[in-house]
Structure 1
Amino acid sequence: MHRLFICLALAFTAHAQEIRHTPLTLKDGGTPEKPAVFDGKGMIIDLGIDVTSHDWEKQGDVWTSRGPFEKHPPVEDVQRAALFIEEVPIRITRDRAAEQKSGEKGKVIFAAPDSLKPGQMGFKADGSIYFRWPEGKAPGTAKIFLPPAGLASCVNIACSYLTVKNITALHAANDGFNIHGNRLGIRLENVKAFSNGDEGISAHETTQMDVFDSEIAWNGSNAGGVADVNDCTTTYTNCEVHHNLGAGFFLEGKSHRITHCLIHHQSQDIVVRGDAQVEQSDNEWRK
């Protein structure tokens, strides 16, 4: 799906449907015979904080905030993104050579501003953010977003036998759709997980989940746009996965099936770790 089409679709939906700026936690499930259904009817959950008009120090395409943002301390873990330019996640980058040379265990040294590649960022000692603009985004024309303080996800599923559909999840600090625990009978239909700090969709522990007709893109996790781990069992059918910082799919867990999916603009398509069993069929890969 083209980015312009996505933006227009979201803009159109925003006029007609609910826009929510707080996380959604779903606790009311059903039974195997009668699963509960939560239909967002086009709901957009956007946790992003627009900081475009902040007082930025500008040196070419490297911008630095004048001081830290409230409740947004430096993020040492490069697993996730801490800043977005429009839909694009900015990668936290550390100077591993300098850290090792320091001889100090646990020392954190971020890459210097002048060493950043497009789409990378770091933090100054006082917590100020600096970043180099990503390719395809021009200063003065694109908006800059922070995820919320803390590690909130947009949608938290905390029950079993639940179908969730027609929701777009944006700009979470953690996951777009997050599922923890012994959850059975979880089904996602026609959801969109765009530009979240960690994964777009992530199942944990012994979750059993099926995902249909969904799109997962521009998420900031170093693992993948989808990361299903621990002892979970998941399937993805007729989904589109693209432009995530990590792989399209990062799969540990027990078993997974990916069928009739389109995967494109990914440095890696599907990464399998441990003894996870992964079945793939009728998928399409594009550069």
Structure 2
Amino acid sequence: MAASAPTMRPTLILALLLHIPLAARDIHVGKDVKTIHEAIKAALPGDTVHLEPKSYRDYAGFYGKKGEPGKPITLDGHGATLEGSDPLDPARWKETAPGLFTNDNLTRLDDATIGRWFFLFDGRMQLMGRTSKGKSDPLKKPEDLQAGEWTFVKDPTREKPPSRQIYGTFHIKLAPGQTLAAANIFAPVRSAGVQFGGDNAHLVIKNLTATHPYNDGFNIHGDCRDVVFENIRAIECGDDGISAHESAQYRVDGFVSIGNSTGICDTGTAQTSYNNVFMERNVGFDLYFLNKGRYRITNAVIFSSALNPFMVTSGADERCELEVDNMLFRRLKKPHKALISATSMIKATRLTMENIEFDMRGQSQLSNCVINGKAEPAGSTGADTAALMRLVPEAEAVGR
């Protein structure tokens, strides 16, 4: 009688399976999983999460998410927009005077959120002269509001220390006879479009727009390594278009920042690089770099109308460094100075600055730069402005 084949033990089968590489997967939101959160949570090294080219009232959160070297986890938006606002629910508001509508409990708030707040009136971002960084107008009294304006009245009696949560009433003014249901008003209810927390590594986020959160379009906290952003846009965000914090390290290739409180704001000990950048209509700052970070911008066009266009600053025991190569920085409003603080440094090559000059309190290394029509250092040829202008998207250049 022939001997039977030996039975393979389960532990040996498992050991062999562990050495078989798993094929990278494509995870489609809306087809394979319902939400962006579920897709990111399920993604393993080498996997790609796919969005549809549409608007999502959602955000993408990465919290301790890691791919592997050579096998990143990728989020490909395929042109998707992460929308941070939702339409107002008229049932939650009451008309307290002709055209004046109020809400005592719109959302959870703190002072920082109120400092970044806005409403969208029929698609128009209404900041009421306020910005998260820089000088802001005081909030109006409800009785002083004009049609298409809003305000917030704080109620300290409802606060519960040590919680930082604040309470109060939002007021919105509409034109006589207009109903809230017909006014097409949206409020920012999400804090970011893309958000990082904890330790993240080996990630790619691309082909994605973040718009209308009350904080940052791309809010990068914690520690991250080998993280790449490609072809991303931040449009009309309550705070920064993109912001690196703590010890984040990433690079961006293709970034558009329009109508945000700050175009780019990086801080802590972050190390970031931005290539192929276009900015306009930012409110508080265009470029704001702080603390002990090392930052780099290449191939950029910035049309500046912000209150404070350009700042590199650090504390007495810190050193902030910014490197610039091939950038056109054109100031569209009244002339303003770009501050480089006493403990900071800028290295610039092929930088053209128009209607703006340096307040150079720290160190600088300038090569082939043109500042308000003057070569720096004397005799240099300056930046190739024609080449820089080719970076401007055709749609953004029309009618300029």
TM-score w.r.t. length of structure 1: 0.71
Match of 2:188 in 1: 147
2: distance between equivalents of 1:277 and 1:218?
A: 26
Which of 311, 321, 341 is residue 271 of structure 1 equivalent to? Answer: 311
1: distance between equivalents of 2:230 and 2:280?
A: 18
2: distance between equivalents of 1:118 and 1:273?
A: 40
Deviation, structure 1 residue 46: 0.7
Which of 211, 216, 230 is residue 170 of structure 1 equivalent to? Answer: 211
Long gaps (5+) in structure 1: 1-15, 95-108, 134-139
Match of 1:45 in 2: 82
Deviation, structure 1 residue 225: 2.3
1: distance between equivalents of 2:253 and 2:186?
A: 29
1: distance between equivalents of 2:282 and 2:174?
A: 18
Q: Check 1:184–1:89 CA distance in 2 against 1; reply closer, same or farther (3 A cut).
A: farther
Match of 1:8 in 2: none
Deviation, structure 1 residue 215: 0.8
Q: Secondary structure at the match of 1:231?
A: coil
Aligned-residue Cα RMSD (Å) equals: 3.5
Deviation, structure 1 residue 47: 2.2
2: distance between equivalents of 1:183 and 1:144?
A: 37
Range that drifts further, 179-188 or 85-94: 85-94
2: distance between equivalents of 1:271 and 1:141?
A: 42
Q: Which letter does structure 2 place at the counterpart of 1:177?
A: F
1: distance between equivalents of 2:196 and 2:153?
A: 36
Q: Check 1:117–1:238 CA distance in 2 against 1; reply closer, same or farther (3 A cut).
A: farther
1: distance between equivalents of 2:202 and 2:185?
A: 38
2: distance between equivalents of 1:242 and 1:32?
A: 36
1: distance between equivalents of 2:247 and 2:174?
A: 40
1: distance between equivalents of 2:146 and 2:251?
A: 37
2: distance between equivalents of 1:249 and 1:50?
A: 31
The alignment of Structure 1 onto Structure 2 pairs a total of residues equal to: 245
TM-score w.r.t. length of structure 2: 0.53
Range that drifts further, 260-269 or 233-242: 260-269
- Which is richer in strand? 2
Q: Which letter does structure 2 place at the counterpart of 1:112?
A: K
Q: Check 1:67–1:264 CA distance in 2 against 1; reply closer, same or farther (3 A cut).
A: same
Are the counterparts in 1 of residues 57 and 82 from structure 2 also a CA contact under 8 Å? yes
Match of 2:326 in 1: 282
1: distance between equivalents of 2:95 and 2:276?
A: 42
Match of 1:23 in 2: 59
Match of 1:7 in 2: none
Q: Check 1:55–1:123 CA distance in 2 against 1; reply closer, same or farther (3 A cut).
A: same
Which of 151, 166, 169 is residue 127 of structure 1 equivalent to? Answer: 169
Deviation, structure 1 residue 65: 2.8
Give per-residue Cα distances to partners, 1:222-279, cap 9 Å, x unaligned: xx22211111011111111221221112111411111111111432332212131011
Deviation, structure 1 residue 19: 2.6
- 1:82 and 2:91 aligned: no
Deviation, structure 1 residue 69: 5.3
Match of 1:201 in 2: 242
Q: Which letter does structure 2 place at the counterpart of 1:240?
A: F
Match of 1:233 in 2: 271
Give per-residue Cα distances to partners, 1:156-176, cap 9 Å, x unaligned: 234112111011111212211
Are the counterparts in 2 of residues 93 and 122 from structure 1 also a CA contact under 8 Å? no
Deviation, structure 1 residue 56: 6.9
Are the counterparts in 1 of residues 115 and 130 from structure 2 also a CA contact under 8 Å? no
Are the counterparts in 2 of residues 208 and 234 from structure 1 also a CA contact under 8 Å? yes
Long gaps (5+) in structure 2: 1-51, 132-137, 155-167, 176-180, 333-400
Q: Which letter does structure 2 place at the counterpart of 1:276?
A: C
Q: Check 1:184–1:116 CA distance in 2 against 1; reply closer, same or farther (3 A cut).
A: farther
Q: Check 1:69–1:38 CA distance in 2 against 1; reply closer, same or farther (3 A cut).
A: same
2: distance between equivalents of 1:32 and 1:182?
A: 16
Are the counterparts in 1 of residues 113 and 215 from structure 2 also a CA contact under 8 Å? no
Q: Check 1:174–1:77 CA distance in 2 against 1; reply closer, same or farther (3 A cut).
A: closer
